[in-house]
Structure 1
Amino acid sequence: MTTCQQLKDSVRPDCCRISDPIPSDAECFERDISKELEKLKRRHERMFVKRRRLMEMAVPRVLVSRFVPKCPCPFTKSIEMVYPCQAQSYTRTEQLALPTVRRLLYRRRVAILAGDEIGESILNRWLRYSYMSLYSRLANSQPLTKPKKKKKKTEKQLAKHDKYIAKLATPKVPPKPPKPERKAGEVDKARLKTLSSPRAYVEEVKPKWELTPDMKNFKASRRLKMIAAHIQRDNVHINETPEKVSPNALRYKPSARIKEMSEPLKTRDANQGLADVKENPFSISPNALKYKASSRIKELAEPKEFENTHIRENPFAISPAALKAKASPRLIELAKPKGG
């Protein structure tokens, strides 16, 4: 037996019960508490089936223990029982049988989260054994250490960190893919696809005009009335003080050319027909009768002689390739008359 920490009240044996005195303020509740405890005791007794055979089998065969029972009350510290299977071993098989430190640390973390103090103490003992084992020392398994507190960053370091975060926050612009090289006469497929796709026209739907109550009660401002008034301009075409006509203009006589230009142009009237139609449209001009055609005109006037390739010299002659040809099954099938 080895002694370690002080004995807790939760693990104190039944022989060493500590009964705290009831305070004077709570003596009035003693009667009610005793009644509740009596009810709980009766309920507990009714939960078990008391049979004679079961009670006989519940009695242990060997009533005398191997060890002399000794009350641990005289000891000032709690007693931790170390069984032979839990003692530190030195053989290779026993060293390998110890669980790994990593697994024990994980189970210890789970026990701490679950609030299992007994399991935590057992795992702490196993950790001590595992840390001191040969294979843990070979693996250089270090015991648990408290995490170091991080130092606060200076203003210069914080500014540098913020600048770095801002740099990372800016999105990267992907590089544009290079244009594919096209040979002479080759068509750009992407451009052709873009041009072939129809345009999306958005139809402009004009809302229906309605005379709203606000428009009925609207009163134009002074500025609107001033803008709406039309501008009055001076009439430059009317000369209130006309000048005298010169005597030369009164005695002027137009020439023949001016009279010719003053006449209106001859236009075609749909009802009367063409105004400048000749009397004999089929008459030949004397210059055309005296005209002599040039050699080039004569050459162009002669019709071209085209060779007729469809007419053969011997239409009944059969080519040697046709004589050697063999009809395919498909031709034989097509040569048969329909419905035959």
Structure 2
Amino acid sequence: MHKVSRSSKCCPTFDHLPENISCFLPDIYKSWHRLVERHKHMFTKRKRLLKIAQHNRPIKGRFIPQCPCKYKKPIEFVRDVRIRTRTEQLALPAVRRLLLFKETVKDLFEPLRILGINRLIRLSLLSVYSRLTNIQPPQKKVPIHKWDEAEWKKHTKYLKKLAKPKKEPKQPKLPVQRMKLDNMTRFKALALPKTHEEPTKEPWALTPAMKTYEPSENIKKMALPTAHDDSAMIQSLPIPINPTAITYKATKRTKELATAREKGVGESDLKENPFSISPNALKARPTARIKELAEPKEYENTHIRENPFAISPAALKAKASPRIIELAKPKGS
């Protein structure tokens, strides 16, 4: 693709292709042009990465390119820059690979070269990245100790001890906190049934203040009868029935709700004789409390007089007020 010119004094140099190569070698020019276009399109999406990868720091010292053909061995020119710790630690090989390499060559290499491998293993193991990944140094395999007959007997004895059911510890007896007999009188009083004493009513008596009492204007106003409009309550007989109620047809659900509910069968209905008394009820003995509750209470009825049909003289001489006459009339009259 490129024309090469060689000289005895220097390295081979590459010259650019001529512009009219498309006329003389069209097939080669097409393939070369296709490769160039492909190379350009490969880096279209990575322009930013290429820009970031470029070194922008100033290079200390002057770099003088020299032709390597002056020397017998090839010489590689490297920048004389201070190596950083991170770069050194990243350049170290993995510990596992070094260990595998050491196992394969420990019988082939000299002791001095094995020491160099050990040094690399130690540096890689103590690097920052190995510590972050928590890589541990290789450990020697500990041979398993086989038990003898005495140790097996001791172990079986311990297993039998563990196989026994666990014994619950004996709980200590708690001290009985009983109350003294002298202090139990209050509990006996609290255990008795509760009794309610009804206060006695004093007989009604006319006091002198009642004889000279004069009602206030507000009480007189409150004592007046309230005037009600009875026009809305008075209806003509017979009372008219709503026409919709006459032509109403009850639904299935309304008829179902209107039917009387069937009474369930009770326990007394299942017996042959529901009025019979059980033998245990005949033998039962009531306690003193049941007898006390069974006794009827005596109530003093102050509303019943000795002669309830007797009419007082004041009632015979009384004159009905207009309000009493109004209330005594039947409604609708």
**Range of TM-score over shorter length:** under 0.3
Taking structure 1 as the reference length, what is the TM-score of the superposition?
0.19
Higher relative contact order (Cα pairs below 8 Å, separated by 6+ residues):
1
